[in-house]
Amino acid sequence: MAKKKKHTSGVVANKRAFFDYTISQPLVAGIALTGPEVRSIRSSHASLVGAFVTIKDGEAYLLNAQVMPLKTNAAHLPSEMQIRTRKLLLKKRQLEDLAQAKQQGYTIIPLKILTKGKFIKVEIALAKGKRQYDKRESIKKRDTARDIARNI
């Protein structure tokens, strides 16, 4: 009887996205990766800071997402492959909805890379950029919530 491989459930999150954007309509999409990229992402060697999604010719692509190599696969993941454009796997209706929202002024950003199970998925969302006063307000709310929790 063959042993089943256990897959880790690591998550690579884009923490900066929640501060810089007002998030609406999260959506989970598949992503086309190579073997060395899969190994690096499963061990949380990736970064979504500054990454965004663009739609070109009816297909969605993830840009500026960085996948750092492990020591064991550094030869198979050269520096030009670390920040390459990766195709997102979405249904046609989802792509149409995203394209329509993009025309209305929304930005499509990745929130998380989910690695639970045998598939690797990317959680993307429609977002509107926050103004400086909105950012200050969210900092103020966070600080007051932290003070209240500390006092209790």
Task: For residue 20, give the CATH number of its domain.
Answer: 2.40.280.10
For residue 3, what pLDDT band results from cuts at 50, 70 and 90? low
Q: Percent of the chain at pLDDT above 70?
A: 93
Mean per-residue pLDDT for 104-123?
90
Number of alpha carbons in the 13 Å side-chain half-sphere of residue 29: 28
Question: Within a domain: residue 88?
Answer: yes
What is the CA angle 20-21-26, rounded to 5? 135
pLDDT higher than threshold 90 for residue 9:
no
Q: What is the pLDDT of residue 109?
A: 93
User: Across-strand partners of 61?
Assistant: 54, 87
Contact 67, 77 (CB under 8 A): yes
Question: Within a domain: residue 106?
Answer: yes
Question: Within a domain: residue 2?
Answer: no
Question: Within a domain: residue 122?
Answer: yes
pLDDT higher than threshold 90 for residue 38:
no
Q: Distance (Å, rounded) from C-alpha 36 to C-alpha 63?
A: 18
Beta-sheet pairing, 121-129 with 86-89: unpaired
- Look at residues 47, 50, 62 and name the one whose alpha carbon lies nearest to residue 98: 62
Question: Within a domain: residue 1?
Answer: no
pLDDT higher than threshold 60 for residue 42:
yes
Domain count, the chain: 1
Residue 18's domain comprises 11-151
Q: What is the pLDDT of residue 133?
A: 78
For residue 1, what pLDDT band results from cuts at 50, 70 and 90? low
